[in-house]
């Protein structure tokens, strides 16, 4: 069935189309001027000294872990309530993901649980700003400093979000972003790494491009690297999207406000907070939580009801430590995450994108109220 109201939709204007077309009229389609321009724009936007554009947010995570020399025998603290790439990237380098529980309000790493999970083998933590809500950076950075841990910020869902008026992605040793089509801004496929340290950034650039350093020949490789490059067309698209970021983020905030008002009368469901202390939210998705007293299959009932009415939805997130891919990972079996497991089985993402109309938001609200009533009455 074609969904009349999709879960997400990229916001592409004529300006983006013209920018991409202009690149295609040149002979420079990779590693050209648009790459440098996009990287400079990302660094300037975040008040960071350097950015490295790459092929995906997953590639960005992998390069960050590799460049920090995290490997076999090392432990990295991660949330389980997040996209699977966070833990996968740790496993790429044969390190061990240590799954830690989340705060029930922000859905980000709980600092108390992080502190309790640190061992002599802990080398780093990946702080994910889940759903565009900044994590508790003061507490988490303090823990990292005390224990001399590297900090990777995963801001793939949170470009433009801020903690104490400082943009996320500008706190850690490195930070990563993703620009998949469902994100606030998109390059189609793509991502980026931000780094303060010049040597670390230089290594990430080399690893992105098959281990080549600027001083070497094209077929000279100083270390084993990857093809994690981002095309000139993608960078041209990203440049226009980044310039539009204030407008895009404002539109998404408006949609969140519509939902908040429309869903307020509906029982047996909790809305995400519109505001949190010390934080500015960058709305990536709009995720509600069904009440614990609903039948266990209530979320499936809502998803099926939405599907029949041509409305998109998604079960965000399935905990990583319970995924089939992690069935053989000891740290996944050992994880005790009651908050993650309780919340994850009740969360549901509603249609959410820049240009979602008020009338469509109203239709989603009516459908959700009806679906919850069906679920509650069996």
Tokens of 332: 């996944």
The answer to whether 206 and 228 have CB atoms below 8 angstroms apart is no
**Rounded-to-integer distance, Cα 134 and Cα 355, Å:** 24
Backbone Cα Rg of the chain = 21
Given the residues 183, 243, 308, 345, the one annotated as active site: 183
Among residues 329, 317, 343, 342, the alpha carbon closest in space to that of 82 is found at 317
φ, ψ of residue 359 to 5 degrees: the values are -65, -35
183 is catalytic: yes
**Rounded-to-integer distance, Cα 266 and Cα 357, Å:** 20
**Rounded-to-integer distance, Cα 229 and Cα 194, Å:** 15
φ, ψ of residue 71 to 5 degrees: the values are -155, -155
**Rounded-to-integer distance, Cα 97 and Cα 8, Å:** 30
DSSP code for 197? -
**DSSP H helical ranges for 169-314:** 198-208, 232-243, 245-263, 298-308
Which residues lie closer than 8 Å to 107 by C-beta, 6 or more apart? 81, 130, 131, 133, 343
Q: Active-site positions?
A: 183
């Amino acid at each position: 069935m074609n969904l009349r109201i999709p879960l997400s939709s990229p916001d592409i204007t004529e300006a983006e189309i013209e920018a991409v077309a202009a690149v295609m009229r040149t002979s420079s389609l990779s590693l050209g001027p648009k790459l440098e321009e996009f990287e400079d724009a990302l660094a300037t936007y975040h008040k960071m000294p350097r950015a490295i554009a790459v092929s995906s947010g997953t590639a960005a995570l992998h390069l960050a872990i590799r460049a920090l020399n995290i490997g076999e025998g090392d432990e990295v603290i991660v949330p389980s309530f997040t996209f699977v790439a966070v833990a996968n990237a740790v496993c790429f380098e044969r390190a061990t993901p240590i799954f830690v529980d989340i705060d029930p309000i922000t859905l980000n790493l709980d600092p108390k649980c992080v502190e309790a999970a640190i061992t002599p083998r802990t080398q780093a933590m990946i702080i994910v700003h889940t759903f565009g809500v900044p994590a508790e950076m003061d507490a988490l950075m303090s823990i990292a400093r005390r224990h001399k841990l590297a900090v990777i910020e995963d801001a793939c869902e949170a470009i433009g979000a801020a903690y104490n008026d400082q943009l996320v992605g500008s706190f850690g040793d490195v930070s990563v972003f993703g620009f998949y089509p469902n994100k606030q801004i998109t390059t189609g496929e793509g991502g980026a790494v931000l780094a303060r340290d010049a040597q670390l950034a230089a290594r990430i650039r080399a690893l992105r491009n098959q281990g080549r350093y600027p001083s070497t020949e094209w077929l000279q490789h100083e270390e084993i690297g990857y093809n994690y490059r981002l095309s000139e067309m993608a960078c041209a698209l990203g440049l226009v999207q980044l310039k539009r970021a204030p407008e895009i983020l404002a539109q998404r905030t408006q949609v969140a406000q519509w939902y908040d008002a429309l869903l307020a009368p509906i029982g047996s469901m909790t809305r995400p907070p519109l505001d949190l202390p010390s934080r500015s939210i960058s709305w990536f998705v709009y995720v509600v939580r069904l009440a614990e007293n609903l039948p266990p299959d209530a979320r499936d009932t809502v998803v099926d009801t939405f599907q029949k009415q041509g409305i998109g939805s998604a079960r965000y997130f399935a905990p990583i430590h319970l995924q089939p891919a992690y069935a053989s990972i000891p740290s996944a079996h050992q994880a005790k995450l009651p908050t993650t497991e309780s919340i994850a089985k009740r969360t549901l993402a509603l249609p959410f994108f820049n240009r979602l109309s008020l009338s469509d938001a109203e239709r989603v609200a009516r459908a959700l109220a009806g679906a919850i009533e069906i679920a509650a009455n069996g």
